Amino acid sequence: MASLARPLRPASVKQCQLSALLSLPPILRANSYLSQHTRWQSTTAHKHPKTAIFFPGQGVQRVGMIDDWLKAFPRTVKPMLDEIDETLQVPLSRIIAEGPNNDLMATENAQPAIMVTSIMILRVLEQEFGFQTNERVDIALGHSLGEYAALVAAGYLREGDALRMVRKRAEVMARCSREAGEEVGMVALVCETNHLGPLIEGIHEFLGHHGEGSKMDSSVETDLPAVQQVLIANINAKNQIVLSGSIKRISELLTHLRQFGGHDPRAVRLKSDSPFHSPLMKPATEVMRRLLEEPSQVAKGEDSVIWPGVMPCVSNVSARPFESKQQLKELLARQCVDTVLWHDSIIHLHREEKVRRWIGIGPGKVGRNLVGKEVGMKGAVKGGGVWGISDPKEIELILKDLDKTEKLEGEE
């Protein structure tokens, strides 16, 4: 498919406006919004409260989520969008900007769209505001799909390689869902905090998972076909998990829990046409293993994975930082089918690593809200805070908050 940067394609109104904007001298191009926000330059500090940067997963996409960024920061955003379309040979930037919604919601588009939007926001911070990620941030992590953006931010994957991997991964996942033969998807369960442990035990009892190690491993052996292997896809918070697989089988499980297990969690069907992190996604794991062993498509002759990176990056599978290049490749491939241990990751960083500042980068506020609830912080607090950057208007205030908390090193 043609790239948006190529000629002879009818231009949209937005593209005509952008062309007119870019043709102006820089002093005129910098409208009042852009001028106001590029004056603030981020401070570089060598000592600061331990800081984590985190990225969202699938479900936060929306048509038009790049519009404000493109209008405010065309010199950074426009070249990135052109490169993305050229890399994928798909007009992804048009799909993000104009939809239709069904196209953007499709797994093969949603996953790369969320990843590139997250990285685009990070690059705006770096290039427009002087934010030096490797000096201001100590550790990176991402929720499910967000792990790829985290690996780019932490220096383990190159943007072009990550984009191709995510697109291929998403295409295989979408195909697996189409070929499932029945309705599949994901259902979030929300319960009282002190009921989560017994609820998980009840789920494993119903599903017939026995033995040490079976509780969190989505590759548990079973005689059931993959689509029937309902498993816990995500442990998101102290009171929230997500089930993945056959919707009929999930309904049977919920009926059992309510009738015989004494549990009555609130069930919410997620806007997902695929049962991510379930055995049905096993073909995606195999594709990722192959892609991760191939040479980089960006840096010829180099490995697809850079080791070491510039900072630790937490694995969804282990809830701990990757320890070697080979482990990164294996766990990143397994992430397609294994449970996302998001709650464990946040609690480990909060309690053991003493992370005090959390910066969410990417569309939507789901990630910020999940983290804030787990660590008991919202916005700036003494010595730390939890922030989410999904809109250009938020940048200056958050950078000021970060600079204020830099001065509170060592205070509790």
Per annotation, catalytic residue among 3, 118, 144, 390? 144
Residue with tokens 């015989």: 260
Nearest to 124 by CA among 78, 156, 89, 169: 78
Burial class (CB in 10 A: 0-12, 13-18, 19+), 42: buried
**Taking the CB of residue 246, how many other CB atoms lie within 10 A of it?**
26
- Does the N-terminal peptide bond of residue 275 adopt cis geometry, omega within 30 degrees of 0? no
Per annotation, catalytic residue among 48, 277, 348, 350? 277
Catalytic annotation present for 144: yes
Report how far residue 57's alpha carbon sits from residue 372's, in angstroms, rounded to the nearest whole number: 16
The token pair that represents 139 in the structure block: 């550790």
The token pair that represents 394 in the structure block: 């938020």
* Amino acid at site 161: D
Residue with tokens 């709650």: 343
Report how far residue 247's alpha carbon sits from residue 180's, in angstroms, rounded to the nearest whole number: 12
Residue with tokens 């800081």: 51
Burial class (CB in 10 A: 0-12, 13-18, 19+), 5: middle
Sheet holding 184-190, edge to edge: 231-237, 240-246, 184-190, 266-269
Point out which residues pair with 381 in neighbouring strands: 384
CA 283 vs CA 43, 59, 112, 168, 271: distances in Å? 45, 22, 19, 11, 22
Tally of CA atoms within 13 A in the half-sphere of 203 that contains its CB: 25
**Taking the CB of residue 194, how many other CB atoms lie within 10 A of it?**
9
CB 163 within 8 A of CB 118: no
Which residues are tagged catalytic?
A: 144, 277
